[in-house]
Structure 1
Amino acid sequence: MKPILLFYGVPEGCSFGAIVALEWSGLPYQLCRIQMPEVVSSEAFKRINPVGETPSLRTADGRFVSQSMAILHHIGAAAAASSELVPAQGSAAFDRFNEMLAFLNTDFFEAFAPLWYAMEHGLQGEALRAATAMGRDKVRRAHAALERLLAGRDWLVGERRTAADAYFLGIARWNDFHQVLDRRDYPALNALYERLQADPAVRFAHGVEHGEVVRSTGAFAGHVELQ
């Protein structure tokens, strides 16, 4: 059995959460760095993920899995039960986990889409103003909704961190780039964000994305080239 191999996108990819989840899992894994938008849209990468998106994952038995929600569930299932990255299937916590992951993967993620689109496509004039106004409104609404969903919890699901928290951080940090709002206006969300930023696995993932030499807190087995 080979180590799990995660194909992660840079810069600022949503695959950040999968790196953190792998660190938390204790599973042996490797990473393959995929530059966006150049390499992610290449024919070489589309042989791994026909959609041309990150993250993608090669499982220990050689299968390929795409889409963040499926990847995080795979990591949780492969990890020791004690990690509790994904709650036990059939439990109330499992339902809550899926609710939160679905919200993050749709409403929270998609809120930033107009802002990324405007930047990546070089919009100008009225088109830029319209996309920016739409994006900023959606980001504020998504943050307000997530603040309500947290409802005084320390973590998104329950009393312990899960893979949903890792995925949350990979998206929430996009506000640091687009500067839509002051996260401190959302106290529960901001507390979760700051708690995660202090985690060693999160610091490792940040270092990996920036190409720094950083020490793993898990079972990271090095980078491989796409070729």
Structure 2
Amino acid sequence: MSPILFYGVPEGCSFGSIVALEWSGLPYRLCRVEMPEMVSGDDYLRINPVGETPSLLLDDGRVISESMAILQHIGARTIGSGRGFVQGSEDFDRLNQMLAFLNTTFFKAFGPLWYAFEHALEPHEKQTLAAYGIAAVEKAHYTLERLLDSREWLVGNGPSLAEAYFVGIARWNDFHKVVDRSQFPSLHRLYERMQQQPAVRFAHAIEHRQEAKSSGAFLGEVALTEAIGLLKQAA
């Protein structure tokens, strides 16, 4: 059984894990999880009791959840590719630090905006959440611009797992229309550069159910019910 990545739509942060798997060259399949309906349903909760995507069902029946854990798992299997690094090395520490920032500060900044979008609230409540979220997103962009410090890449001399995760989160600004990304030159160049990556184009096409050309080892999509059956067999 090849690993199955459960990815959330629309606009799931699992986007970065799809990009990373494409880069890895490892065989994998995908399972589409509609949010919020399917992700909180009983079937998916059997995969991930937290009720969030992404989750990665491994060929031995184990399930890994949380983007950072999945990305580091992929990185550990592709050391030497420039995407992941040996634990304890300087490059690994830099990657881990950047992933932690993206997973907390950058990701969390959009939280109030998503909550306001997904829930029925009083107008004044939506306004308060929106103001809080806009301020947080602006601050996160300023901070990441400083961390980039005019470099082309977040870690190392090319796109790493940090860029895979970054591009899946940074696109949320296009959805919520918070900041003019061109105010942050290094961040803006990085985002535009990532749009040219075949793996990023593939992930976009998968999410939007368009024709998707894999440059990796994508083996197709499976339904959630089929994935649960495979999980039972592996148990």
RMSD: 0.8
1:159 aligned onto 2:148: no
1:84 shift after superposition: 2.4
CA contact (8 A) 1:153 1:159 kept: no
Of the three residues 131, 139, 142, the one matched with 1:133 is 131
- Unaligned 5+ segments in structure 2 are 226-235
Structure-2 separation of matches of 1:150 and 1:101:
13
Match runs of 1:1-227 below 5 Å:
2-79=1-78, 81-227=79-225
Aligned sequence identity (%) = 60
- In the alignment, the residues of structure 2 paired with residue 153 and residue 122 of structure 1 have an alpha-carbon distance, to the nearest angstrom, of 42
User: Match of 1:6, as an amino acid?
Assistant: L
What is the CA-CA distance between 1:87 and the residue it aligns to?
1.7
Q: Which consecutive unaligned segments of at least 5 residues does structure 1 have?
A: none
- Distance in 2 (alpha carbons) for counterparts of 1:57 and 1:40: 14
Classify the secondary structure of the residue corresponding to 1:6.
strand
What is the rounded CA distance, in whole Å, between the counterparts of 1:217 and 1:152 in structure 2?
30
Whether the 8 Å CA contact 1:76–1:84 is kept in 2: the answer is no
8 Å Cα contact 2:76-2:86 kept in structure 1: no
Q: TM-score, normalised by structure 2?
A: 0.94
How far apart are 1:86 and its partner, in Å?
Answer: 1.4
Contact kept, 8 Å, 1:6 with 1:55, in 2: the verdict is yes
Q: CA deviation at 1:107?
A: 0.4
- Distance across 2 between alignment mates of 1:193 and 1:172: 8
- Partner Cα separation in structure 2 for residue 63 and residue 174 of structure 1: 30
Task: Out of 54-63 and 130-139, give the one that drifted further.
Answer: 54-63
What CA distance in whole angstroms lies between the structure 1 residues aligned with 2:28 and 2:123?
46
CA drift at 1:125: 1.7
Which whole-Å CA distance do the structure 2 matches of 1:45 and 1:130 have between them? 33
Give the match's secondary structure for 2:38. Answer: coil
Q: 2:232 corresponds to which residue?
A: none
Question: Alpha-carbon deviation of 1:60?
Answer: 2.6
> What is the aligned length?
225
Normalising by structure 1, we get a TM-score of 0.97
Q: Report the Cα distance in structure 2 between the residues aligned to 1:189 and 1:120, rounded to whole angstroms.
A: 28
Does structure 1 conserve the Cα–Cα contact (< 8 Å) formed by 2:53 and 2:65? yes
The residue aligned with 2:228 is none
Q: Distance in 2 between matches of 1:39 and 1:205?
A: 20
* 1:138-194 CA distance string (max 9 Å, x none): 000000000000112211111121111000000000000000011000000001100
- Which residue matches 2:229? none
Off by >2 Å, runs of 4+ in structure 1 = none
